[in-house]
Homo-oligomer: A and B are copies of this chain.
Amino acid sequence: MALVPAPPFPQAEFRRRVNAVKQKMAAQDLSALVTSDDSHIAYLTGYTAKSGYVPQAVVVLSDADDPVFILRRMDAPAALYQTHLGKGGVIGYAENLVGNPEQDGFDAVIDFLGDSRVSSSGVGLEVPAQAAQKFRARLPAARFHDVTGVIATVRAVKSDLEIEMMRQAGAITDAAVTRAAEVLRPGVPEAEAAAEIIAQLVRGTDGLASTALASFFLCATPRTGTSHIPWADDVLQAGSQVNIELSGMRHGYVAPLMRTFVLGRAPDRLRRVHDAEVAGLEAALAAVAPGRTCGDVAEAFYSAAEARGVVKESRCGYAVGLNWAENTASLKLGDPTVLKPDMTFHLMLGNWIDEDFGYVISETFRVTESGAEVLTGSPRELFELI
């Protein structure tokens, strides 16, 4: 059986994205742009295989329809499978650049630039700082520009196809939340519950599976004041509280969700925090509209929650989509980012109040023409598992 390409989107979608980047390049008079960011590579090509632990980069050329992807030769077949680039657009570099203190895969990228006609023109770089030094040293005639953030800005507004991918991820997210409510019981080891919930995330729902496992956190009593522990070597008890953060993943796209579960009746303090946070959540969603800012949404959340006696120190969300957090806008007071239709955010209301007490709830939403649309269907409950 031959390897037949199966990219996650049609070629026209990737060309639309590449063209948007090329417009940004034209504004800075760049004939080439080099990015080694895993998420940007996925955005521009569809490639999501996990080879980014060695150098690899996509080069967008102003005079070419499609980018060129330079990666370790061992990983080139995955690039042929997951992208539309074809053999002309995928360059596998030799194994002597791996585990070699003198040269690495970025030298192959530099060789490619040196061999093409960009070496004396403007080149945008979004690579680690040490690699950037090597580009400058080895291509002294080129004018290099740091383009960190340029592709991220392009990515902020999603296409319909991307939104659909996030909806698929969200359906899997919902199935995993449902599974959590089934398996979280006194006497169950945390790892056993995690195994069942993670299995649901992988196998997905309604015939659509995750294509990789996204981040997963299960922080149970007495660790509900922690935020990023996958799970612990511990057994759930009657009365335990369990804070979960998870997401399905479709070709890199996620729709994350946090929910809080109690193995019994919720204590009064937890119930009060939940009520205040849900009020804040609804106020935040109601504040979403094109033309408003991320800061406006945050203001709505913090005002409503604080009016009910709950203070949250951390930001209340961030831009989300490909490979989870997108490192552009934050939902926090003063963030000036103006909302546009089809921007997507994780309204993240995890609140780690004391060392041993925290509460979590969140929604993933997209900005619509007039408001917010939540991309998952899980109820906004404090789940009491009796």
Residues of A within 8 A of B (CB): 1-4, 6, 49-51, 53, 73-78, 80-82, 94-95, 98-99, 128-130, 133, 189, 191-192, 194-196, 198-200, 202-204, 209-213, 215-217, 221-223, 225-233, 313-315, 318, 325, 330, 332, 335, 350, 352, 355-356
- Choice from B6, B325, B352, B355 contacting A53 with Cβ under 8 Å: B325
Q: Are A77 and B225 interface neighbours, CB within 8 A? A: yes
Chain B hits for A200, CB < 8 A? 195
A-B contact pairs, 29 of them (CB 8 A): A1-B222, A2-B222, A3-B225, A6-B233, A49-B228, A50-B217, A50-B228, A50-B229, A50-B230, A74-B227, A74-B313, A74-B350, A75-B228, A77-B352, A78-B227, A80-B355, A81-B223, A95-B314, A98-B314, A99-B330, A99-B332, A128-B129, A129-B129, A129-B133, A194-B202, A195-B200, A209-B233, A211-B231, A213-B213
**Inter-chain contact B210/A202, CB cutoff 8 Å:** no
Smallest Cβ distance from A360 to chain B, in angstroms?
11
Cβ of A65 to closest chain B Cβ, rounded Å: 23
Min CB gap A69→B, angstroms: 14
Closest residue of chain B to A315 (Cβ to Cβ) is B99
A74, B352: Cβ atoms closer than 8 Å: yes
Q: How far is the CB of A214 from chain B (nearest CB, A)?
A: 11
Name 12 extra pairs, CB < 8 A, besides A1-B221, A95-B313, A191-B210. Answer: A50-B215, A50-B217, A50-B230, A73-B313, A77-B355, A78-B226, A78-B229, A98-B314, A129-B130, A194-B202, A211-B230, A212-B231
Closest to A333 in B: B96
CA distance A24 to B78 in the complex (A): 42
* A356 touching B2 in the complex, CB below 8 Å, given contacts A77-B226, A81-B223: yes
Expressed in whole angstroms, the minimum distance between the Cβ of A273 and any Cβ of chain B is 16
Of the residues B194, B222, B227, contact of A51 by C-beta under 8 Å: B227
